[in-house]
Chain A
Amino acid sequence: MVDLLFYVAAAVSVLCALGVVVSANPVQSVMMLLGSFTGIALIYLLAGFQFLAAIQILVYGGAIMVLFLFVVMLLNQGDPVALAREQGVLHKEQLAGGLAVAGSALAVLLVAVARTDLPRPIFGYLWPEGGLDPLLGMAQAMFGPYVLAFEGASVLLLATAVGVMTLAKRQRNKPVAAASTSEEASA
Chain B
Amino acid sequence: MSFESLQDLYLGAGPALAPLLWLTGGLLAVLIAEITPGLTRLRPAVVPAALLGAAWSAGQLIAEPSGLVLGGTFMGDSQTGAFTLIFLGATLLAWGQARHYYGQEEPFLGEHDALLITAPIGMILMAGAQDLIVFFIGLELLSIPLYCLAAFRRTRDDSVEAGLRYFILGAFGVTLFLMGAGLVYTTAGTLNIEGLGDALVALTTPLGSVGMALILASLLFKAGVAPFHLWVPDVYQGSPTPITTLMATGTKAAAFAFLLRLAPILPSEAGLPLGIIGVATLALGNLGALVQTDLKRLLAWSGIAHAGLLLLVISAAVSAAGTNQQAEILNAATSALLLYLLAYAFAAGGALGLVAWMEADGEDHTQLSRWQGLGSVRPGVAAGMTLFLLSLGGIPATGGFLGKWLAFSTAVRADMLPLAVLGALTSVIALGYYLRVIITMWMKPRPESWAIPSMNRPLAAFLAGFCAAMVLALGLIPGFVLGPLF
* B99 to chain A: closest residue by CB: A187
**A179 interface neighbour in B9, B37, B111, Cβ under 8 Å:** B37
* A147 to chain B: closest residue by CB: B70
Closest CB-CB distance, A157 to chain B, in whole Å? 10
Contact flag A155-B138 (CB < 8 Å), given A116-B207, A117-B205: no
Which of A39-47, A55-63, A79-87, A159-167 makes up part of the contact surface? A159-167
**B107 interface neighbour in A149, A159, A181, Cβ under 8 Å:** A181
Q: Is the CB of B148 within 8 A of A163?
A: yes
Q: Is the CB of B148 within 8 A of A167?
A: yes
Cα-based distance from A163 to B114 in the complex (angstroms): 9
Contact flag A145-B147 (CB < 8 Å), given A159-B27, A166-B152: no
Q: Is the CB of B206 within 8 A of A115?
A: yes
* B176 to chain A: closest residue by CB: A105
Q: Is the CB of A177 within 8 A of B107?
A: yes
- Flag whether B52 is at the interface (Cβ < 8 A): no
**A146 interface neighbour in B6, B115, B133, B208, Cβ under 8 Å:** B133
Q: Is the CB of B206 within 8 A of A165?
A: no
Closest CB-CB distance, A143 to chain B, in whole Å? 7
Q: Is the CB of B141 within 8 A of A152?
A: yes
Kindly list chain A residues whose C-beta atoms are within 8 Å of the C-beta of B27.
155, 158-159
Cross-chain pairs A/B with CB under 8 angstroms, 13 sampled: A113-B207, A146-B131, A148-B74, A149-B131, A155-B27, A155-B121, A158-B27, A159-B144, A162-B114, A162-B115, A166-B152, A167-B151, A172-B107
Contact flags B96-137 to A (C-beta < 8 A → 1, else 0): 000100000011111110110010011001000001011011
Contact flag A156-B210 (CB < 8 Å), given A149-B137, A162-B115: no
Q: Is the CB of B109 within 8 A of A184?
A: yes
Closest CB-CB distance, B169 to chain A, in whole Å? 14
Kindly list chain A residues whose C-beta atoms are within 8 Å of the C-beta of B205.
115-117
Q: Is the CB of B125 within 8 A of A145?
A: no
Contact flag A108-B210 (CB < 8 Å), given A144-B9, A184-B106: yes
Cα-based distance from A115 to B140 in the complex (angstroms): 33
- Flag whether A93 is at the interface (Cβ < 8 A): no
Contact flag A176-B144 (CB < 8 Å), given A116-B187, A167-B151, A183-B40: no
- Flag whether A153 is at the interface (Cβ < 8 A): yes
New contact pairs (4) apart from A152-B134, A163-B145, CB-CB < 8 Å: A108-B210, A112-B210, A160-B144, A162-B111
Chain A residues touching B, range: 35 or more
- Flag whether A118 is at the interface (Cβ < 8 A): yes
Kindly list chain B residues whose C-beta atoms are within 8 Å of the C-beta of A187.
44, 99
Q: Is the CB of A166 within 8 A of B111?
A: yes
Q: B195-215: which residues lie under 8 A (CB-CB) from chain A?
A: 205-210
- Flag whether B413 is at the interface (Cβ < 8 A): no
Cα-based distance from A184 to B113 in the complex (angstroms): 12
Kindly list chain A residues whose C-beta atoms are within 8 Å of the C-beta of B163.
167
Interface of B is mostly: helix
- Flag whether A28 is at the interface (Cβ < 8 A): no
- Flag whether A111 is at the interface (Cβ < 8 A): yes
Closest CB-CB distance, A68 to chain B, in whole Å? 17
Cα-based distance from A59 to B135 in the complex (angstroms): 24
Kindly list chain B residues whose C-beta atoms are within 8 Å of the C-beta of A147.
9-10, 70
- Flag whether B322 is at the interface (Cβ < 8 A): no
Q: What's the count of A-B pairs with C-beta under 8 Å?
A: 134
- Flag whether A109 is at the interface (Cβ < 8 A): yes
Kindly list chain B residues whose C-beta atoms are within 8 Å of the C-beta of A165.
111
Q: Is the CB of A180 within 8 A of B40?
A: yes
Chain B residues touching A, range: 35 or more
- Flag whether A77 is at the interface (Cβ < 8 A): no
Interface residues of chain A, those whose CB is within 8 Å of chain B, are 108-109, 111-113, 115-118, 140, 143-149, 152-153, 155-156, 158-160, 162-167, 169-172, 176-177, 179-181, 183-184, 186-187
Contact flag A159-B145 (CB < 8 Å), given A167-B154, A184-B109: yes
Kindly list chain A residues whose C-beta atoms are within 8 Å of the C-beta of B138.
152
Kindly list chain A residues whose C-beta atoms are within 8 Å of the C-beta of B37.
179
Query: Considering residues A116, A164, A179, which has the most beta carbons from chain B within 10 angstroms of its beta carbon?
Result: A116
Q: Is the CB of A152 within 8 A of B137?
A: yes
**B44 interface neighbour in A148, A155, A159, A184, Cβ under 8 Å:** A184
Q: Is the CB of B1 within 8 A of A148?
A: no
Contact flags B204-233 to A (C-beta < 8 A → 1, else 0): 011111100000000000000000000000
Cα-based distance from A162 to B131 in the complex (angstroms): 27
- Flag whether B72 is at the interface (Cβ < 8 A): yes
Kindly list chain A residues whose C-beta atoms are within 8 Å of the C-beta of B10.
147
Kindly list chain A residues whose C-beta atoms are within 8 Å of the C-beta of B13.
148
Cα-based distance from A112 to B187 in the complex (angstroms): 11
Contact flags B12-33 to A (C-beta < 8 A → 1, else 0): 0100010000001001000100
Cα-based distance from A156 to B110 in the complex (angstroms): 17
Cα-based distance from A183 to B10 in the complex (angstroms): 39
Kindly list chain A residues whose C-beta atoms are within 8 Å of the C-beta of B111.
162-163, 165-166
Cα-based distance from A116 to B136 in the complex (angstroms): 26
* A117 to chain B: closest residue by CB: B205
Kindly list chain A residues whose C-beta atoms are within 8 Å of the C-beta of B206.
111-112, 115-116
Kindly list chain B residues whose C-beta atoms are within 8 Å of the C-beta of A108.
210
